[in-house]
Structure 1
Amino acid sequence: MTAPSKPVQGILWMLFTTINFVLVNAVVKYIGDTLPVLESAFLRFLLGLVFLIPALGAVRTATFTPRIWKLTFGRAIFHAIAMSTWFFAMTRIPMGEVTAINFMNPIYITIGAVVLFGERIALPRILALVIAFAGGLVILRPGFREIDPGHLAMILSAVAFAGSYLIAGALTRELPPAVVVFLMSVTVPIVLSPFALMHWQTPTLHQLVLLFCVAAFATLGHYSMIRAFACAPQTLVQPVVFVQLIWSMTLGFLLFGEPFDPFVMLGGAMIIGAISFITWREARGRRAEEAPVP
């Protein structure tokens, strides 16, 4: 039986996750366009390799087939596109909008699972997807304001992240999660390196320290997310992700003078609500499948 304190721990771990991911956004926003976007994305992964040392033991015992290498480099291409367009978006649009648009990531994963893997989708789930896309329209408000290239870049980033995570799902069925993370972190800078070198600008020590902080906060964020899901069901901790939007808009206002946009809050709430509903339905479906037959 789960201890009463576990759900509280799960919520606290997820709150810590949101803080780390917002700090990632804030540091990337602070760096801005002082370095070429592709170089920044390349250095973020290169400097983050130090955090992979604990995974070396699992990597040594893993078996790498040609299929695994194809999936790994396919994922690296998706992730490189996602990171590059995300860095670009951070230089163009407010932190709150970046965060809210990125909330669409699980929605694209759901659509990809249906289209690519033939997963069934019921009417309530379809309605949740419609609400999430409506939330995206509330954030963007096409026709009521100018759509910045940063908005388009962030949409592409969320779609590319979804592709990366779908491939990661296939890889985790054949490799331990630590090995999957290791392979991504090694192959993404390989994919980015030729593009980063084309417009290389020697970074300052200050910029290197900032990018190392990005890697550190991102690593802490992923670790605390795993701890959150280990402590409590996703149906409980998933809605906490909405707090990340509040952090983003608050820091954006305090640090960068970005206006507080109620439409972004409303759209983000619609997307998170839809994602939480989908997560709840999937969890209920799994419990029904695992229930003993009388």
Structure 2
Amino acid sequence: MSDKAASAAVERRRPLLGIAWMLVASLCFVGVNGGVKYLGTGLPAAQSSFIRFAFGAIFFLPMVPKIWAMQISARLWRMFGWRALLHVAAVVCWFHAMARVPVAEISAIGFLNPVMVMLVAGILLGDRLGLRQVMVVLAAMLGALLVLRPGFREISEGHLSQLAATTFFAMSYVIARRLALEVPAAVVVAVMSISVTFGLMPLAAAVWVPVSAEQLAVLAGVAALGTLAHYAMTKAFVAAPLTVTQPVNFLQIVWSAALGALAFGEAVDPWVLAGAAVIIGVLCLNTWIEARKEGRAKAEALAAAAAVES
């Protein structure tokens, strides 16, 4: 096989590789949901999240000398610092919500993450937000209203906490996408795990309560799954564009509803599924349009290159 043919074969496989990595990430995130839901309100959110990230940081301590030797620029360290602050806020809000809101509702609200990423990228990074993107945002917000149904039922502090977590996670992921283009995926995850652990430490110390061996074991498992999920997600970002990998995440609503019903006896709310379907539908439509635009752009570039060569 020629070098050109081998390169083309690799490029064809990259979308499938991105999908595979995102599938691993989404399955791990559902496992994380189950572990945190099992713990409930037995531990304060800041303490639970600190212990989870402390376990995760242990996995990456051997990488510290290698990361230090990389001589990462001050600009990138600032980006890592901002991501750590945002992730600290996100995980505390998420742990708080997870103990108080049904698993399927957590996942349904979490589907707003790609929309929030779109908004954050548009506002902070200057990415273009055209009419279609605005319509996607509005339709996704309609789906969120179906999930929450304000005025027809009480909106709890858990729901508000999950909305805040989704916003903070989106801001963190936008920075992670930029970082993944300049440093290896393992470094992005390692620095995040270690820096977030230090960021959570004073918050956890302020509310610390005794921890049982069972709680430690569950949080260790959550840490392992969460670390693998973030690594797989970062690898997916590098392997393929979000338009390819993001739809895989939408399977989480199925797994989350099943987990809530089978493991925690939570009723499957049709309004939650309907709201999630609206959000998923508009995001899939946007993904399909973006993929078609990208395909046309590549075809035009190839046609132009062929015309020049001839």
For normalisation by structure 2, the TM-score amounts to 0.84
Q: Which piece of structure 1 moves more, 169-178 or 188-197?
A: 169-178
Q: Which piece of structure 1 moves more, 219-228 or 175-184?
A: 219-228
The count of aligned residue pairs is: 294
**Residue 256 of structure 1: aligned partner:** 264
Give yes or no for the alignment of 1:125 onto 2:133. yes
Letter paired with 2:117: I
Change (3 A) 1:123 1:138: same
Residues in 2 aligned to 1:274 and 1:137: alpha-carbon distance in whole angstroms:
15
Which of 161, 164, 180 matches 1:156? 164
Q: Report the Cα offset of residue 183 of structure 1.
A: 1.4
Q: Which piece of structure 1 moves more, 49-58 or 177-186?
A: 49-58
Residues in 1 aligned to 2:231 and 2:188: alpha-carbon distance in whole angstroms:
14
**Residue 82 of structure 1: aligned partner:** 90
**Residue 210 of structure 1: aligned partner:** 218
**Residue 285 of structure 2: aligned partner:** 277
Change (3 A) 1:43 1:77: same
**Residue 43 of structure 1: aligned partner:** 51
Q: Which piece of structure 1 moves more, 175-184 or 55-64?
A: 55-64
Change (3 A) 1:68 1:10: closer
Secondary structure, in 3 states, of the residue corresponding to 1:167? helix
Q: Deviations over 1:30-66 (max 9, x none)?
A: 0111111101011111001233257557514422333
Q: Report the Cα offset of residue 150 of structure 1.
A: 0.4
Change (3 A) 1:177 1:17: closer
Change (3 A) 1:176 1:237: closer
Give yes or no for the alignment of 1:140 onto 2:148. yes
Please provide the CA RMSD for this pair: 2.6
After superposition, residues 50-199 of structure 1 pair within 5 angstroms as 50-52=58-60, 55-56=63-64, 58-199=66-207
Contact between 2:243 and 2:290, CA under 8 Å: does it hold in 1?
no
Residues in 1 aligned to 2:293 and 2:30: alpha-carbon distance in whole angstroms:
32
Q: Deviations over 1:166-193 (max 9, x none)?
A: 2223333443332222211111111111
Structure 1: segments with no counterpart, 5+ residues: none
For normalisation by structure 1, the TM-score amounts to 0.89
Q: Report the Cα offset of residue 269 of structure 1.
A: 1.6
Residues in 1 aligned to 2:238 and 2:134: alpha-carbon distance in whole angstroms:
28
Residues in 1 aligned to 2:177 and 2:145: alpha-carbon distance in whole angstroms:
28
Residues in 1 aligned to 2:289 and 2:24: alpha-carbon distance in whole angstroms:
26
Contact between 2:147 and 2:271, CA under 8 Å: does it hold in 1?
yes
Change (3 A) 1:226 1:179: closer
Residues in 1 aligned to 2:180 and 2:236: alpha-carbon distance in whole angstroms:
19
**Residue 5 of structure 2: aligned partner:** none
**Residue 32 of structure 2: aligned partner:** 24
Q: Deviations over 1:231-269 (max 9, x none)?
A: 777545533322211111111111211110111111112
Residues in 1 aligned to 2:9 and 2:278: alpha-carbon distance in whole angstroms:
31
Greater CA radius of gyration, 1 or 2? 2
Change (3 A) 1:168 1:241: closer
Q: Which piece of structure 1 moves more, 117-126 or 48-57?
A: 48-57
Give yes or no for the alignment of 1:219 onto 2:221. no
Change (3 A) 1:240 1:203: same
Q: Which piece of structure 1 moves more, 275-284 or 2-11?
A: 2-11
Letter paired with 1:72: F
Change (3 A) 1:160 1:254: same
Q: Which piece of structure 1 moves more, 38-47 or 267-276?
A: 267-276
Change (3 A) 1:231 1:180: closer
Letter paired with 1:152: L
Residues in 2 aligned to 1:171 and 1:10: alpha-carbon distance in whole angstroms:
17
Change (3 A) 1:61 1:272: farther
